[in-house]
Chains A and B, each alone.
Chain A
Amino acid sequence: MESRFRSLFLTSLILLSATLLHMQVSHAADPVELKNGQIIQPELKRRKITLADIDTEDYEIGIYAGALSIEDFGVNAVYGAKIAYHVTENIFAEFTLGQSTASKTSFELLSGGLQLLTDDERDFTYYNISVGYNLLAGESFFGSRAYNSDLYIIGGIGSTNFADNDNFTWNIGVGFRFVPKDWFAIHIDVRDHMFKSELLGSSKLTHNLELTTGITFFF
């Protein structure tokens, strides 16, 4: 009865103030250690906290923007979104969706009014599924404060839709993850999106280099 009353009392305290509760519980629940090492456990009914209550933060979600050099079609603004799952401390899998619009080739610019692609066909959209490896985990110093950071390599496969065609696309790259908070990171990424294209006559492997910066959140 007494312990029931006590937990009722505690529950009302929780409702009053979460911070107050924290102080109450953590002080009241601390075992008192005597000089001879004996521990007295206070007679308090503990709420059971299990492993399932531990918050896991293995997912990372975010957005990015930057510049994409579309081979033969100039350097263009690119933006996108990504979600990553961290499988181990080193390995993560990432799904990315990105979008850009190709500008004119130098031929189109010089020839006056001639157009190789319609406006719709200039849309450059891609997705890829990649695996990354955190190569250099360490600390970066900003002034006198140390922040966690990672240098990672990444590569994968996906598809690029450009000039109304789907193209099987390989990507490789390297990235830097700056982690000022456990739940927040800033990324700088360099990526090469490679696919075969027959757009300008002969078939060739095009390299589309991308430099982006982005923010992500862990959850």
Chain B
Amino acid sequence: MQRVADIETPRSSSIPSDRAFADILRPLIDPGFRLALAMLRDRGAAEDAVQEASFTAWRKLATMRDRGRVRPWFLGIVANKCRNARRGKWFASVSLGVPEDVAIVSNEDESLRRSDLRAAVARLPHDDQLVIVLFFYLDLPLEEVASVVGLSVAATRGRLYRSVNKLRPGVDIEEAIR
């Protein structure tokens, strides 16, 4: 799977045609889906979030000033869709997607630790989850994480510190975010 940080986004200032929009959108689906799956832990809900984000992106792309920032812009839309999905009353009570208890073939302790870590991330507030997933799972640089969450780099760094501290109290922050 291509890593998010390796993906180059097209740069263009013109209003895109269907084909051009598809070319812009295609490399964003993978990081968008991974972000949504990590935030929602439900394949169907993650697909819906990416689909709805894509509709929104299409409608608002023409108003976007800096086409070179399309990736954080799109991931920000996905994050908002995830926030809305988590507020939905049906999502709150229903999960049909990825099971939390993944089949364990061997190395049970490791699998349980991974499951515990996912559960610990899921217990964080939305904004804390978001910076953790963007920075540690999607490997976005701090500047791009800041762009997605709409904060300054300094404020984003502070939020990341606090989020890591909630996730792993007492951990060496500088070591953790290296």
Chain B binds chain A: no
Point out residues on B near A: beta carbons under 8 Å: none
Point out residues on A near B: beta carbons under 8 Å: none
